[in-house]
Structure 1
């Protein structure tokens, strides 16, 4: 079961790890349409039941005892460095709703992702409350900062990842191994940059030989279809990409070559590949709505790696000789109240 599913990045990765979906909940109409376009009729383990609705209105009790993994990408604005960091005082904070549904569903495992801002010291008390509430529900909690670039995704994208398992499975959990090699932007996008016959694609790909900065999508109130703030645009410029807007299509045969004043732009499809989506993933809505979905997504390869570790723990697969169980996340402050 997944809440705040967005365009399906986490759900797609968990599908790849072997999980089938009992419910995929998303309130945004265009993101829900993206889910339906890609997975309402077929999927690796069957179609996804897409529920377009507010998480506040979702009742988990009919699913009690039937769910192995509860997952979600709860909204990041309450903890984002780019925002006001209101935490629990932000009405967009959905951690309490996630905990409510976890209590109703009683899954064997939990996976929640958020921005790295949640790991700041100012939110110590808040994290302690989450850990305390999950402990009260019988879970052992693990929390770590993972970078998407460590899992063959061509961008940095640090994310604060919470994994919680019923205590009998916790000794079998370890964080997934990082990939030995990173994937560059050029390696990922060469075929798409050359799709319309641009003669400079190969040279561009050779020079775009590092991972990208974190893509952002903005919210319905803020942010349009571009690669992000000024610092991000400058980083993309070094990769040979103009980041002030998003293109409708790849550069054609007449597009300039080796002209620093005329750089190619990313398309929505390219942004999806930078996030780790397959090239054939379809995006619903206008360009701004599509790019918002791309920029707010959780990279499928990261979700698949974590999901595989969770699946192994639920199956009580013994750890390899060179592995040790993940360290439990201990509260840094005594909780003063419960979020449940």
Structure 2
């Protein structure tokens, strides 16, 4: 029964992200890259006056997801990426059994943070199309994951089922073989597009018809993360009683900027429940304007790339989509401070981008800058995953 309420592998090619850009735009990017290299060289030689102090962030995402005691619920993670779902469930008290991810560098990230975890990554061991899921039957309480979402991305071409990167069938196969108590699947808002209603019904709802499924939307900024990042979740319970108990997480925070500017938001007594704007979260100076970041993306596909937090209210208002440009983001705050962006705007470090996404600095990412940005930009904000995990455990009475 199924209830929906309002509350050899093609996968090996799926990790090859293709950027279709014109020769003019490619030349433009090369010019930007050249200017960036020259500016960085001058900064390293001390030819520029230092305009920024090393920032000290005021936001610690760990505060948004206090560590819970073990609830003894065992999880299996598919399409694990940089670990957003895994970290959120870990902080909520779940026991990690295994993670599967195609991209090899993600294993290094996981083991740098949780050396005892079992992580299978790369084409040989992380390809979910080649795993015999029967070995996990009866051993897993919760399966969670975010099947590759590019086919349904609002910003993409929305090819859906016809796109080889669509891995929903592999997720549903694992669920139907292992038969966990509950599954949690996350994806992009593109799946809410009416053109995909048929896909959702046939390949998600009907494909896991033994589960009572709730579909809902969550925004990271509602849970203290300084970013507009909206995602759709599917939570399915094997037992209808658990499904009826499950509650969609209520927002825990309200945006500080919205609270200040809107006459329609009642004042909040507990100031700890305000979502910081980006500048405040990162410990930057007050310029009289602050807001949460737009959605972080993992690559660059247009002219609106950013490597910095703009130092003017006009610049902040026109920030646009946060297309993070790997060549400009610095590996640490010392380098970011010494190497200001064009116009002396504050340059972002990898640690800062992690905070904007809801990752605590204690969660270390492996790889070069572009690999780290890919892991961060494709992840669920951990505090969002945490709140879903807490309510799932409550529904299972743990």
From 143, 146, 152, the equivalent of 2:218 is 146
- In the alignment, does 2:135 pair up with 1:66? no
TM-score (norm 2): 0.67
From 86, 108, 112, the equivalent of 2:185 is 112
Could you tell me how far apart the structure 2 residues matched to 1:260 and 1:100 are?
A: 49
Measured after TM superposition, the shift of residue 4 of structure 1 is 0.5
1:253-303 superposed Cα distances (whole Å, 9 cap, x missing partner): 98699x981111111111111111111221111111111111111110000
- In the alignment, does 2:131 pair up with 1:48? no
Change (3 A) 1:254 1:131: closer
Measured after TM superposition, the shift of residue 249 of structure 1 is 3.1
Measured after TM superposition, the shift of residue 247 of structure 1 is 2.1
Rg larger in 1 or in 2?
2
Aligned to 2:107: 32
The structure in which a higher percent of residues are helix is: 2
Q: Is the 8 A contact 1:213 1:236 kept in 2?
A: no
Q: Is the 8 A contact 2:339 2:347 kept in 1?
A: no
1:164-219 superposed Cα distances (whole Å, 9 cap, x missing partner): 111231111011110233222123211xxxxxxxxxx433xx5562110000113x
> RMSD of the alignment, in Å?
2.6
Q: Is the 8 A contact 2:143 2:175 kept in 1?
A: yes
Measured after TM superposition, the shift of residue 31 of structure 1 is 1.3
Q: Is the 8 A contact 2:309 2:347 kept in 1?
A: no
Q: Is the 8 A contact 2:309 2:345 kept in 1?
A: no
1:112-153 superposed Cα distances (whole Å, 9 cap, x missing partner): 111101110110000111111222xx2101111211111111
Q: Is the 8 A contact 2:189 2:231 kept in 1?
A: yes
TM-score (norm 1): 0.78
Aligned to 1:287: 369
Could you tell me how far apart the structure 2 residues matched to 1:272 and 1:207 are?
A: 24
From 329, 349, 352, the equivalent of 1:246 is 329
Aligned to 2:285: 202
Could you tell me how far apart the structure 2 residues matched to 1:14 and 1:253 are?
A: 32
User: Which consecutive residues of structure 2, in runs of 5 or more, have no partner in the other structure?
Assistant: 1-75, 255-274
Q: Is the 8 A contact 2:84 2:379 kept in 1?
A: yes
Change (3 A) 1:216 1:207: farther
Query: Helix, strand or coil for the counterpart of 1:170?
Result: helix
Could you tell me how far apart the structure 1 residues matched to 2:307 and 2:91 are?
A: 34
Change (3 A) 1:30 1:253: closer
Query: Helix, strand or coil for the counterpart of 2:100?
Result: strand
- Number of residues of Structure 1 aligned to a counterpart in Structure 2: 287
Could you tell me how far apart the structure 2 residues matched to 1:24 and 1:11 are?
A: 8
User: Which consecutive residues of structure 1, in runs of 5 or more, have no partner in the other structure?
Assistant: 41-46, 191-200, 317-340
Q: Is the 8 A contact 2:223 2:251 kept in 1?
A: yes
Q: Is the 8 A contact 2:289 2:316 kept in 1?
A: yes
Could you tell me how far apart the structure 2 residues matched to 1:59 and 1:207 are?
A: 56
1:169-188 map, 5 Å: 169-181=242-254, 182-188=275-281
